[in-house]
Amino acid sequence: MIRVSGLTKEYQMGESSVFALRGVDFTIKQNEFVAIMGPSGSGKSTLMNIIGCLDKPSSGSYQLNKQEVGSLDDDELSAVRNKEIGFVFQSFHLLPRMTALQNVLLPLRYASPPIDDTSYAVELLLRVGLGSRQDHRPNQLSGGQRQRVAIARALVNRPTILLADEPTGALDSKTSVEIMNLFTELHKAGQTIILVTHEEEVAAYAQRVIRMRDGHIVEIEERGVYAA
């Protein structure tokens, strides 16, 4: 599903160059649950932006479902992003004036052509335990409920990859466990999940942990088990 080879990302800072990624190589197969870990400045966020087609590498190869992504233009990247990738962020990014259901439907409104699949959006809200909250606005929901809405929204385009950036960072420990258990359920149902985190407790839910430092992968830890 994902094959990364010799991936680099270079930023120009005045007359100096700074490398956020320095020759990164790995493969992620369909229906894997992978965590990417590393301290601030390790390159994990840069890597996630490239995997999510939000940025382009400076050199190297990134193949998503056998398609070479690094050479695509912005419109082509947008099309891949909308079709293949669902995003879950730490701060939810829900629109405050919209109900939970309207927020979940939003990606379908921006599809080309726009899609009307309200029944599937309702199904997703039921799946994440919010069937009775679909008419509530974000300020009427708890942090955990808002993240569940965000997860449903990320799934509404039926993406091949669910990409989660610090999805429990704004949640208390009890709610974090609930959200990670939901990710586990989604993975067991067949969803490929790539999660970026700095928390060992969160990474423990993944089958495999890719550890980064200074733009390099320093360890790939195979686990193959779920946290209890």
Distance CA 117, CA 62 (A): 32
DSSP string, 7-47: EEEEEEETTEEEEEEEEEEEEE-TT-EEEEE--TTSSHHHH
- pLDDT computed for residue 132 by the predictor: 93
User: pLDDT digit string (tens) for 146-205?
Assistant: 999 999 999 999 999 999 999 998 899 999 999 999 999 999 999 999 999 988 999 999
Over residues 103-117, the mean pLDDT reads 83
Confidence band for 3, pLDDT divided at 50, 70 and 90: very high
User: pLDDT digit string (tens) for 52-92?
Assistant: 999 999 999 999 988 999 788 888 888 888 889 999 998 89
- pLDDT of residue 226 exceeding 80: no
For the chain, the straight-line distance linking the first and the last C-alpha, in angstroms and rounded, comes to 28
Of the two residues 83 and 27, the one the predictor is more confident about is 27
* pTM reported for the whole predicted model: 0.90
Q: What percentage of the chain reaches a pLDDT higher than 70?
A: 97
Structure tokens at 113: 């052509």
Contact 29, 6 (CB under 8 A): no
Q: Strands, DSSP E only, in 90-175?
A: 161-165
Structure tokens at 75: 């419109």
Residue type, 2: I
| Angle at CA of residue 16, ends 12 and 20, nearest 5° | 55
**Of 148, 151, 118, the residue nearest 136 (C-alpha):** 148
What the chain holds in terms of domains, given with CATH numbers, is 29-58+74-222 (3.40.50.300)
Q: Strands, DSSP E only, in the chain?
A: 2-13, 16-28, 33-37, 59-64, 67-68, 85-89, 161-165, 192-197, 208-213, 216-222
